[in-house]
Amino acid sequence: MNTPKIERVLVAPLHWGLGHAARCIPLIQQQLDLGHEVMVAASGGPLALLQEHFPALRFVAFPFKTITYPADGNMVRHFTWHGLGLMASIWKEHQKLQRLIRSESIDLVISDSRFGLWSRHCRCVFVSHQIKIMSPRFEGLINRLNHWVMNQYDEVWIPDHAESPGLAGDLSHPDNMPKHYRYIGPLSRFDGKVVPKGADPMKVVAAISGPEPQRSIFEAEVARRLIESGERALILEGKPDEPKESQIDQLKVVHHMGDKRLAEALVSADLIIARSGYSTIMDLDALGVNNVEYHPTPGQTEQEYLARLHGPKL
């Protein structure tokens, strides 16, 4: 009887917030369950989150240009201005990957939305729900570039249901699809878990996420609203690399919660306030939570679309 080959797998999530790292947790666990050796490329908050779940794994750094979101919400101008720097970072990570494949004898690369991690020297998979990128300007050009990148990979894994609209709607079910794509179903670390309601639930739980400065702007707005309401509320800052808690009147602010406490807080609250990031939507769907008030990041068309799709309308 042939023994299945043990593959060396590199998993690399995009580091713009925690969402991409969080949805890589079930992908990493799947590879470990298959008996493969897994290495993870991560830094900052994503590194801390994945080290918490997989302390025995080996982690490597793939430096990438630090991304910020504009305070005025003008994403097109912001990313046009930073476009050359982003392209340079993508090319650098592409070159580093080629060296790492050779030195570590990597068999499989799973890239969650990192554009430069494809190679002709091993099998490479691109994970994304944004098969169609929505943009107020240059949408055709942006999507041609997006499809060119996806077609450099051996496979494109779409974390959504195959039947439209799924959870991502037109983003993951456009007319024009990349080569070698397949739907793998939503990805959530909470999938299949039965979570009881906590004994001492909060009235409101606010999950703060995303790059700066919009992340801090959103947190300040939410904190002001919750303090003025006088209701028992919790703000989850999503900072696993900075564990800390504080209390302001009836408002509790927690930098990070483990999965069990987080899930209990979410299913127990009367209202969830969150960005309409796709990983957040997948997690809340897995938990069966639908009492959510979504606030898209200003100018981020993906989140604006998902907020309209899932409501309530803002």
| pLDDT tens digit sequence for 250-281 | 999 999 899 999 999 999 999 999 999 999 99
Q: Which two tokens stand for residue 301?
A: 């068309």
- Note the pLDDT of residue 242: 76
Predicted pLDDT at 312: 61
Per-residue pLDDT for 179 more than 60?
Answer: yes
Q: Which of 205, 237, 207, 213 is nearest to 48 (CA)?
A: 237
Domain residue ranges of the chain, discontinuous segments joined by +: 8-183, 204-310
Average pLDDT taken over every residue of the chain? 89
The whole-model pTM stands at: 0.91
Quick count: other Cβ atoms within 10 Å of Cβ 55? 8
- CATH class (in words) of the domain with range 8-183: alpha beta
Helix (H, G, I), strand (E, B) or coil at 218: helix
